[in-house]
DNA sequence: GTATATGCAAAGTCTTTGCATCGTT
DNA sequence: AACGATGCAAAGACTTTGCATATAC
């Protein structure tokens, strides 16, 4: 189901602004701040208000279509929602942010539940270091 | 070595304000925001300026005596620096924040290096969920 | 046509900074 | 006495909100 349909199903409207934010995020090579999204949207069409970008992101977040991540620079960054979305490797050299693939999150959950009785719900792992290429 | 000595060794001065911030953090039961530290300091003596709290925290951070953590509520929280300081379990029921004990961070490092060639430097793991008592 | 979304500007929250004064060394 | 630290108020960065206007349905 596409976003337009999803929005309408939930009682919201599809607008050019929302479509643009969504398109930018889908084509993004990295995790973008609201302002970066704003810049990219504005490159394509006449200015869209920053407040509308924030409102759109909040809405898409509510619908679990996008997710905000904090990678340590204290600004919100946004990406499409997906299963591994809370697990980020940030290279301090090239700046690239990769999503972790694999079962590490499951390992962490099992470890915490078994060893500490802690029932993990949201696991947010951000690792800064050097990626394979930059080492 | 105590903080006063450490400060002076690095060319800084010990002041009542700095001592108070340090004392509050040592006695803290949880991870405090700058404002919470300010409140606790102010309970003990006449008002200390919030800006001085921030400046003191920045200084102690530089000296690796305290550390800022982001636990998801988007405000900086502060704790004494210690080996496991980047690994936090936050209970969504009682709000308690516990530090993880054990070798999980090492496991994560090994996993990332072995499977992905990623050399982890700083590992920040924040897990929200239910602690043993609240389950 | 009606209710929702946008633009604009103002306000809000947390944090930092400039500058005169105060206090530690 | 000298230089670093504090208090105060103002500014900064990022994000949210109120309200009139525009627009999707």
Give the start-to-end residue ranges of the domains of chain B. Answer: 3-80, 86-129
Q: Which residues have C-beta within 8 Å of that of residue B82, sequence separation ≥ 6?
A: B99
Q: Identify the residue whose tokens are 């696991």.
A: A123
Q: CA dihedral defined by A115, A118, A119, A122, rounded to 10 degrees?
A: -110
- Contact assignment for A115 to B92 by CB distance below 8 Å: no
Alpha helices in chain B (DSSP H): 3-9, 16-27, 34-44, 50-62, 104-116
> Is there a contact between A39 and A50 (Cβ–Cβ < 8 Å)?
no
> How many whole angstroms separate alpha carbon B135 and alpha carbon B130?
6
**What are B82-93's pLDDT values in tens digits?**
866 578 999 999
List, for residues A1-44, the tens digit of each pLDDT value. 789 999 999 999 999 999 999 999 999 978 999 999 999 999 98
Which is more confident, A100 or B15? Answer: B15
Nucleotide closest to residue B56 (CA–C1'): D5
Decide: B95 and B77 in contact? Cβ < 8 Å. no
Nearest Cα to Cα of residue B33 among B85, B86, B87, B72 = B72
Distance B66 CA to D20 C1' (A): 49
Q: Which CATH number is associated with domain A3-80?
A: 1.10.10.10
pTM: 0.90
Whether B100 and A108 lie within 8 Å, measured CB to CB: no
Give the span between the Cα atoms of A78 and A57, in whole angstroms.
8
Q: How far is the CA of B39 from the C1' of D14 (A)?
A: 25
Q: Pick out the nucleotide with least CA–C1' distance to B55.
A: C16
Residues 6+ apart with CB under 8 A from A14: A3, A4, A7, A8
Phi, psi of A67 (to 5 degrees): -145, 140
Q: Do A130 and B124 touch (CB under 8 A)?
A: no
Give the model's pLDDT for residue B84.
Answer: 62
Each residue's pLDDT tens digit, B52-67: 999 999 999 999 999 9
A9 CB-near residues (< 8 Å, 6+ apart)? A1
Rounded to whole angstroms, the Cα distance separating A68 from A55 reads: 13
Model confidence at B15, pLDDT cuts 50, 70, 90, reads very high
Q: Point out the residue among A102, A116, A128 whose CB comes nearest to the CB of B132.
A: A116
What is the DSSP code (8-state) at residue A73?
S
Burial of A56 (C-beta count, 10 Å sphere; 0-12/13-18/19+)? buried
Model pLDDT for residues B110-134, shown as the tens digit of each residue: 889 988 899 999 888 999 999 999 9
DSSP letter, residue A100? -
In angstroms, the CA B9 to CA A66 distance is: 49
Q: Which nucleotide is nearest to B47 (CA to C1')?
A: D7
Q: A76, A71, A120, A105: which is closest to B90 by C-alpha? A: A120
- Does B121 sit within 8 Å of A130, measured CB to CB? yes
Q: Tell me which CATH homologous superfamily contains domain B86-129.
A: Ferric-uptake regulator, C-terminal dimerisarion domain (3.30.1490.190)
């Amino acid at each position: 189901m596409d976003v337009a349909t999803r929005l309408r199903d939930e009682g919201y409207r599809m607008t050019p602004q929302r479509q643009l934010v969504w398109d930018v995020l889908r084509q993004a090579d990295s995790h973008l701040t609201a302002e970066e999204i704003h810049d990219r949207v504005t490159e394509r069409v006449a200015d869209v208000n920053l407040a509308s970008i924030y409102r759109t992101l909040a809405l898409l977040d509510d619908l679990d279509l996008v997710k905000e991540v904090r990678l340590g620079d204290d600004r919100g960054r946004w990406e499409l929602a997906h299963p591994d979305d809370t697990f980020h490797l940030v290279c301090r050299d090239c700046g690239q942010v990769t999503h972790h693939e694999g079962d590490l999150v499951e390992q962490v959950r099992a470890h915490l539940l078994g060893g500490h009785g802690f029932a993990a719900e949201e696991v947010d792992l951000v690792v800064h270091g050097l990626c394979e290429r930059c080492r």
